[in-house]
Amino acid sequence: MASSSSSLFQSSPLSLKPKTSTPPVPPPKPHFLKPHFFRIKASTQSTPSPPTPPQPIVSKPRRPADENIRDEARRNNNLHANLFSAKYVPFNADPSSTESYSLDEIVYRSQSGGLLDVQHDMAALKKYDGRYWRELFDSRVGKTTWPYGSGVWSKKEWVLPEIDGDDIISAFEGNSNLFWAERFGKQFLGMSDLWVKHCGISHTGSFKDLGMTVLVSQVNRLRKMNRPVVGVGCASTGDTSAALSAYCAAAGIPSIVFLPANRISIAQLVQPIANGAFVLSLDTDFDGCMQLIREVTSELPIYLANSLNSLRLEGQKTAAIEILQQFDWEVPDWVIVPGGNLGNIYAFYKGFHMCKELGLVDRIPRLVCAQAANANPLYLHYKSGWKNFKAIRANTTFASAIQIGDPVSIDRAVYALKNSNGIVEEATEEELMDAMAQADSTGMFICPHTGVALTALIKLRKSGVIGPADRTVVVSTAHGLKFTQSKIDYHSNDIKDMACRYANPPVQVKADFGSVMDVLRKYLSKAPKH
């Protein structure tokens, strides 16, 4: 598929050897609901007040020099202490089920072997209305207050309500850019309200940071409680391992990552290596690595960090809440998410659904899950009318992080799609690479997985399912800089059986004035005029 070197670009010299209960008290009013929080509009005042003399500017005093931001948080932040709780329950359990586990237990599966879900005490959360939550979350954005400066922990009450701020390991992840894709929307789709949620513009370059801050924080808490957790492990197509190793390194916790040899990008391989993880390069695909890490974590005191572990999804769901927040709590019509192991599509559903259930919004968007045609078990399942899911052997794809044939969260994904009137689409290699190149040509620099999501959008626009004025959000899951080799191959026109229609290779020119002027004149004569 991808060529290893290129005639137009120097190939990389770098080669790496594998080496519980809620007290019935009335909710406290947060400071921002006090009257002074709301400004009176000038137009409502009948007579203008006389100008006040200028006051001397006094800076807010800084915290004492011997105090850090965690200490300061401990002194200030006891809002909501002990009011909320969460526990593990079997995923989509019968309402009569009484099976549940404390989040301080080490458990990944229900008694019947099914998936788990983190269930919040919704009755306690409902004591506060939607307006309260909207204003609380809005009040925390853009600050460095520990831990609320994080887009994940700014929703702490809905994520891990019981964890102490002292145990949290955060890189102030989240709060990622929601980009108005004006030119891409207009030029390629005739759309006016298209947005790209850049979850890859993040600490380790993917949305996995949102889940990993939660999981590693909980592990940190468990280790302080002397629970048997010697290290944390995952199987990965590159992004989970990058996030796990970074957060573990920040916490001083050993991390162990299982990677499919030669199936992830160099940038993704070097991330856990640099962060000091114990990296195993295994001669199998992602599904093989996943099987092995599940077996290993059931034998050794290594905590499982893949999204089979439902803690991860509590962090990832905040991206959905953040999208609503960034639209000032207006609900988009469509959200398109690339899917592989299929935890994230459910995380988005859960975030939107919680906002509806707790009164922050009155509906949820329709979800689209986009898969590479070379790794499309969910798409096939959808097309069969959700009959008899069959795992497949995934083929090589430029969207290497979603080259997964036996997704652990298949049941979660089906639930999310059925309950959001959702759709599944697929993208061939040529379609996803063209979409990526088109998006890049309008000023983005996206990853191939985002190319998969954009292809889904292009197809749904062409078929008229998505309308020209529908507010649509495409979730960009990783930073394009992790996948430069795929862009090099494309722009070198160096991919077998692919036309690379939008390739933009560099021009080799002799270093003299005449030659440079000749090429520039030719280029300018063809350049688009206003």
Ligand X SMILES: N[C@@H](CCOP(=O)(O)O)C(=O)O
Ligand Y SMILES: Cc1ncc(COP(=O)(O)O)c(C=O)c1O
| Closer to ligand X by Cβ: residue 271 or 472 | 271
Amino acid 61 reads P
Stretch that binds ligand X, among 56-64, 87-95, 169-177, 239-247 (CB under 6 A): 239-247
Residues 339-368, one symbol each (x = binds ligand X by CB under 6 A, - = not), give: -xx-x-------------------------
Residues 397-416, one symbol each (x = binds ligand X by CB under 6 A, - = not), give: ----x---------------
Residue 89 contacts ligand Y per CB under 6 A: no
Residues 6+ apart with CB under 8 A from 53: none
Residue 237 contacts ligand X per CB under 6 A: yes
CB of 83 to ligand Y, least distance (A): 31
Query: Binding residue for ligand Y (CB under 6 A) from 110, 255, 275, 341?
Result: 341
Query: Binding residue for ligand Y (CB under 6 A) from 338, 365, 422, 480?
Result: 338
Q: What are the tokens at 282? A: 């295994």
Residues 292-311, one symbol each (x = binds ligand Y by CB under 6 A, - = not), give: ---------------x----
Query: Binding residue for ligand Y (CB under 6 A) from 310, 344, 374, 486?
Result: 344
| Closer to ligand Y by Cβ: residue 110 or 344 | 344
- DSSP summary character for residue 49: P
Which of ligand Y, ligand X, none is residue 365 near (CB under 5 to 8 Å by kind)? none
Residues 381-410, one symbol each (x = binds ligand Y by CB under 6 A, - = not), give: --------------------xx--------
Could you give the CA distance from residue 296 to residue 220 in angstroms, rounded to a whole number? 20
Residues 6+ apart with CB under 8 A from 444: 179, 181, 184, 196, 476, 480
Residue 240 contacts ligand X per CB under 6 A: yes
Could you give the CA distance from residue 487 to residue 342 in angstroms, rounded to a whole number? 25
| Closer to ligand Y by Cβ: residue 290 or 361 | 290
Q: Got the DSSP string for 350-401?
A: HHHHHHHHTTS-S--PEEEEEEEGGG-HHHHHHHTTS-S----PPPP-SSGG
Buried b (16+ CB within 10 A) or exposed e, 366-390: bbbbbbbbbbbbbbebbeeeeeebe
CB of 141 to ligand X, least distance (A): 26
Which of ligand X, ligand Y, none is residue 306 near (CB under 5 to 8 Å by kind)? ligand X
Residue 257 contacts ligand Y per CB under 6 A: no
Query: Binding residue for ligand Y (CB under 6 A) from 289, 416, 424, 478?
Result: 478
| Closer to ligand Y by Cβ: residue 83 or 159 | 159
Residue 268 contacts ligand Y per CB under 6 A: no
Could you give the CA distance from residue 50 to residue 59 in angstroms, rounded to a whole number? 26
Could you give the CA distance from residue 272 to residue 240 in angstroms, rounded to a whole number? 10
Query: Binding residue for ligand X (CB under 6 A) from 307, 374, 438, 476?
Result: 307
Site size for ligand Y (CB under 6 A): 17
Residues 6+ apart with CB under 8 A from 62: none
Residues 233, 178: contact at Cβ < 8 Å?
no
Could you give the CA distance from residue 287 to residue 305 in angstroms, rounded to a whole number? 15
- Identify how many contiguous H helices and E strands the chain contains and give both numbers: 18, 13
Q: Tokens 């899950």 belong to which residue?
A: 369
Residues 6+ apart with CB under 8 A from 477: 199, 200, 206, 207, 239, 337, 338, 344, 401, 447, 449, 450, 453
Query: Binding residue for ligand Y (CB under 6 A) from 175, 397, 477, 485?
Result: 477
| Closer to ligand Y by Cβ: residue 90 or 339 | 339
CB of 239 to ligand Y, least distance (A): 4
- Backbone φ and ψ for 11, nearest 5 degrees, come out as -75, 155
Query: Binding residue for ligand X (CB under 6 A) from 117, 157, 239, 322?
Result: 239
| DSSP 3-state of 303 | strand
Could you give the CA distance from residue 86 to residue 79 in angstroms, rounded to a whole number? 17
Of residues 434 through 463, those in contact with ligand Y by CB under 6 A are 447, 449
In the complex, the residues that contact ligand X under the rule CB under 6 A are 208, 234, 236-241, 306-307, 340-341, 343, 401
The site for ligand Y (CB under 6 A) is made up of: 206, 237, 239, 307, 338-344, 401-402, 447, 449, 477-478
